[in-house]
Structure 1
Amino acid sequence: MKTAAIFAATALASTAAFAEAHLDREGWPESFTVGTASQGGTYFSYGSGWANLVADELGLTGGGEVTGGPMQNMALVHTGDAAFGMTTMGPARESIAGENPIAPGLEMTNACAMFPMYQTPFSVTALASSGIESISDIPEGARIGFGPAGSTSDTYFPRMMDELGVEYERRNGGWSDLGGQLQDGLLDVIAFAAGVPVPAVSQLEVQTDVNIIEFTEEEQQKITEAFPVSEFEIPASTYTTLEEPARSVSMWNFAIANCDLPASFVNAVVDTVMSDHERMVNIHRAATSTVPENWDKNNGVLPWHPGAAQWFIENAGADIPEDQIHGN
């Protein structure tokens, strides 16, 4: 039995090595970067994690790069300055329409959908000592940290606060930095748009008492009617502070690839990420939603990279119209 097991393991390893050696690598880059966001946020943890996974499995040099988030990632991937990146559907739609503030008027159609990531909940955090327990408790002129300039948070959360009648002073910065400012009393509120658990919030919970503020049903309805988001509940198990699920809204995230990358390369990257769900969840719990059946959350916003479309058609039974695949 022991000999048979060793033989089977050797055969499996040989088969894997054979398949790896016979991958069509024509035109593949020797290294790559994944545009993420600021340190302390989910994008950086998640993106650096899958970049390292892909680099390890495909024998390449690659890693995550700190960026300003989805809007900048769309620009970097469109121009080819980054092979890969991550974006939310709202900034993706605006970028393709030529409404990206980084390059107004430039239609960023050379950034292609690669694979579904997770939903980004919009959530509000304050120190418990502030007495802020609801959106209506936020005082006039409150100093609110909205994340890095141009991020999903910074693009949409101020508009949401305007919609809800909140008057505030707008502050920007990386999530770790904003968390420190909140703890030091330099901010009153942080408005997060990031996959949960947000590392900066988890760190705050260890150091002090915080309030994670949910939307009322009326506030939730008002926001979903005005913005490209859907209803969402942050599970109570996400943070030690929560005793029950917190009402929120969310926006889907997708990994993106420069549309000119070889189809075989992007196909291999997608296969690596989508075939190792356990390792992805170990990278970040938000990857629970990084599963093949969520391919349809693109909703026709981004053109599909041919290599990615091929993978989802063959492995997830995806019904992707040809006119939604780049180059067709």
Structure 2
Amino acid sequence: MRFQSIAATALAYAVFATPVLAQDRSGWPASFTVGTASQGGTYFAYGSGWANFVAKNLGVSGGAEITGGPVQNMALVHTGDLKLGLTTMGPAREAVDGQSPLAPGMKMDNVCAMFPMYETPFSIAALSSSGIASISDIPPGATIGFGPAGSTSDTYFPRMMEALGVDFKRRNGSWSDLGGQLQDGLIDVVAFAAGIPIPAVSQLEVQTDVNVIGMNDDEAKTITDSFPVSEFIIPASTYQSLDEPSRVVSMWNFAMVNCDMPESFVYEVTKLTMENNSEMVSIHRAALHSVPENYTQNQALPWHPGAARWFNENGYPIDDAAIKH
């Protein structure tokens, strides 16, 4: 399958950047590509900006690739087709256990954790003109857009809607495309799983009135009891459409790397990212949570030795048993 590639070459930065001089660059890749997701979503914005940031500062050609999201990224990084990628803990756990829908029975055990990114809230949007202001307002047979096929949203949100008794027709597509379909009245609801603010929602609410829909007490309890998620509050300041905080559920995201990548390279990438949070936040606001303190949220992937070395050196202990050797 052919994917679009968004490249940020080292040549483009040669005049402007002073590369970090690592002590040992043996085995470093000549270039790298980060697996993200569809355009209009947070993964693409975060991943492409991060790839450019790393390329600029380490002097290695790098860029982002549009993919189907976390499930596909796990497969591409496991095989080495991509060196770096972004994933969510639910799909990561399923892939490591050999339960990936892309390759049932294949244990994707050559994928290692690098650093925590942010939580992915599962949120819902509908046009205000639809009259849909709560999950219970979604009419039977409504068409719901769940994002790209195989994405975190597409993997978990349909199951969540079924658990909440919602009768729906399923639609897949990029977040940008689904936002356009919602605005044109071709679908009734978009069920997003992405870091906030979601670019497609921010763009949509500039064009029309939008309802960003949360969960009530019973709905939140049903979902947290049944899925690997926790409650999450979307601040009212996130979207102009919110008058008050919105309670939803969320799942953590991590940057990952093929376990065969050189330790010194992964160490430098981890160091650069974890020690420059203000620059990461300038890429996307979700990076406010891309801080080392959140490393404990990794419950699915072994740590790459290079990443683990940085965390251990800086007071964030990782047991040897949790490191890939």
TM-score, normalised on structure 2?
0.94
CA distance in 2, matches of 1:142, 1:48: 34
Q: Which amino acid is 1:145 matched to? A: G
User: What residue is the counterpart of 2:220 in the other structure?
Assistant: 220
The whole-number CA distance in structure 1 between the counterparts of 2:267 and 2:160 is 37
Partner of 1:305: 304
Checking the alignment, whether the CA contact within 8 Å between 2:145 and 2:173 is kept in structure 1 is: yes
User: How do residues 1-328 of structure 1 correspond to structure 2 at under 5 angstroms?
Assistant: 20-299=20-299, 301-315=300-314, 317-327=315-325
Higher helix share: 1
Distance 1:56 1:35 in 2: 18
Residue identity in the other structure for 1:122: F
Contact 2:20 2:57 in 1 (8 A): no
Over residues 208-246 of structure 1, what are the superposed CA-to-partner deviations in whole Å (9 max), with x where a residue is unaligned? 000001100110011000000001000000000101100
In the alignment, the residues of structure 1 paired with residue 131 and residue 168 of structure 2 have an alpha-carbon distance, to the nearest angstrom, of 17
- Counterpart code for 1:200: A
After TM superposition, give the deviation of residue 319 of structure 1 in Å.
2.3
CA distance, structure 2, for counterparts of residue 217 and residue 42 of structure 1: 27
| SS of equivalent residue, structure 1 residue 255 | strand
Give the counterpart letter for 2:312 in structure 1. I
Whichever residue aligns with residue 193 of structure 1, its letter is: A
Mapped to 2, the partners of 1:318 and 1:259 lie a distance apart of: 20
1:21 positional shift: 3.4
3-state DSSP of counterpart to 1:21: coil
Q: Distance in 2 between matches of 1:210 and 1:278?
A: 31
Instruction: State the alpha-carbon separation in 2 of the partners of residues 43 and 76 from structure 1.
Output: 16
- Are the aligned partners of 2:22 and 2:264 in contact in 1 as well (CA < 8 Å)? no
SS of aligned partner of 2:20: helix
Aligned residues: 309
Q: For 1:120 and 1:285, how far apart are their aligned partners in 2?
A: 13
Q: C-alpha separation between the residues in 1 aligned to 2:286 and 2:116?
A: 11
1:35 positional shift: 0.2
Any conservation in 1 of the 2:22–2:268 contact (CA below 8 Å)? Answer: no
Alpha-carbon shift at residue 199 of structure 1 (Å):
0.1
Q: Are the aligned partners of 2:124 and 2:214 in contact in 1 as well (CA < 8 Å)?
A: yes
Partner of 1:125: helix, strand, or coil? Answer: strand
8 Å CA contact 2:214–2:246 kept in 1: the answer is yes
How does the TM-score come out when normalised to structure 1? 0.93
Change (3 A) 1:22 1:165: closer
Structure 1 alignment gaps of length 5 or more: 1-15
Q: Distance in 1 between matches of 2:274 and 2:22?
A: 20
> In 1, distance between residues paired with 2:102 and 2:187?
27
Contact 2:21 2:58 in 1 (8 A): no
2:51 & 2:89 partners in 1: Cα distance?
A: 21
Q: Which amino acid aligns with 1:146?
A: F
Is contact 2:20-2:59 (8 Å) kept? no
AA in 1 matched with 2:110 = N
Q: Percent identity?
A: 68
